Amino acid sequence: MYQINFDHPIHIYFIGIGGISMSGLAEILLEEGFTVSGSDMHSSALTKQLEERGARIFYGQKYENITPDIDLMVYTSAIHPDNPEFVASNDLNIPVLTRAQLLGQMMKNYKTPIAISGTHGKTTTTSMVSEILLLADLDPTLSIGGILKTINGNIRIGHSGYFVTEACEYTNSFLSFYPKIGIILNVEEDHLDFFKDIEDIRHSFHLFAKLLPADGTLIIGGSIPGIETITEGISCRIITFGSSDTFDYSAADISYDEKGCASFTLTRKGERAERYHLNVPGEHNILNALSAIALSELLAIDTGIVQKALEGFKGSERRFEYKGTRSGVVIIDDYAHHPTEITATLKAAANYPHKKLYCVFQPHTYTRTKAFMKDFAKALSLADEIILAKIYPARETDDLGISSDTLKKEIEALGKTCYYFPSFSEIEKFILNNCQAGDMLITMGAGDVVKVGENLLK
């Protein structure tokens, strides 16, 4: 594998430089003095920002974009071998790294690299940790999978030994990382277009845990089914968190405000401690906060700073994000695209003042929709009114013989009314004709369904 020497910056080309993660890595390398170029299909705020900082970007991926002066090519799992730029890099014998391999090499450049993993909650927890480290003046470098309003972006370039990043299990990308501290929030079935089953997924998280050095630390959700298969044989320190006071960190005396945001008393090894107040809704965010608190105490950050940072954190973009109000209808957007995430979001919404809860859901990938069809139907049934958009295929081309109409029938079999409209314009028309003042509308999914709420607010 090609090894980067940060003392000798080179010319690196990114295929798909406008992605949320790729753009962040490119920005860090620009700051480190590297020459950065790359391509994307369309101009965006992220590509414009990179251009302003000195990157050269091509719009459209073409063979001729690749020139012999490029020292290294970086690509993601979305890039196929027949991509013209990938083909050109092979023809010119340009070394290549995946995005994850590059990120792993960058982590080696820091004294305390922190990787936050799990099937759900990575972006929110990474954002919570980021807020804490920023308020503690630890000057971290941050790589977040979503936009954090405090830094007005997904990347922050610090000048300390702290590096914080999300660690995604898809295609085993997090196995290319070099963390000193790892967090595993939860482990469930997902990405079944890559993993065979839950045992395969647990094995992947076990390999991630084994990456931690003997003087490192694993912070892990104590209620994860089969946790012993993940932690077996690892040499580092293990800290647990969860809903039971048998874990190292748990929460007691939980209460919720009128918007579904929790307050709780921290419990350390069964002993009651200080109280925390969150400004993000839902029980799942208590668990996210517990992992962030455990990390903060490991880093010896003052308790008052942690309390203040968590109370001040109002969420990251596309995580129960308030978009606006139109004609008395509150519009929320959420990235949830797995049944567990949908359940958590809709339960959180139940504590938010509203009359009727409308959910516009855009399924994400055919493989995920088919694998969890009945679970999706059950989770979505928590909403009063369910509207489905077309399945967002992402990287997939085979529809596996299913559509959103298949999911609609599953929901109707549970006795719930469900609507399916192939276009966003039809969905928007339905909402305008049916939502009343006092209702809540949640647009939900990992695709582009956020446009529905944004169009309505325009």
Q: Which two tokens stand for residue 200?
A: 């395969």
- Six-digit token pair at 443? 């647009």
Is 122 labeled as catalytic in the residue annotation? Answer: yes
Is 166 a known active-site residue? yes
- Cβ contact 201:190 at 8 Å: yes
Strand order across the beta sheet in which 357-361 lies: 321-326, 329-334, 440-444, 357-361, 385-388, 418-420
| φ and ψ at residue 88, rounded to 5 degrees | -65, -40
284 Cα distance to chain centroid:
14
* Residues in CB range of 95: below 8 A, 6 or more apart: 2, 71, 72, 73
Angle at 20 between CA 17 and CA 21, to 5 degrees: 80
Angle at 114 between CA 273 and CA 48, to 5 degrees: 120
Nearest to 299 by CA among 308, 291, 287, 288: 291
H/E stretch holding 411 reads: helix 404-413
Selecting among 27, 131, 166, 385, the annotated active-site residue is 166
158: closest CA among 320, 28, 257?
28
Q: Which of 27, 85, 119, 122 is catalytic?
A: 122
Residues with a catalytic annotation lie at 122-123, 166
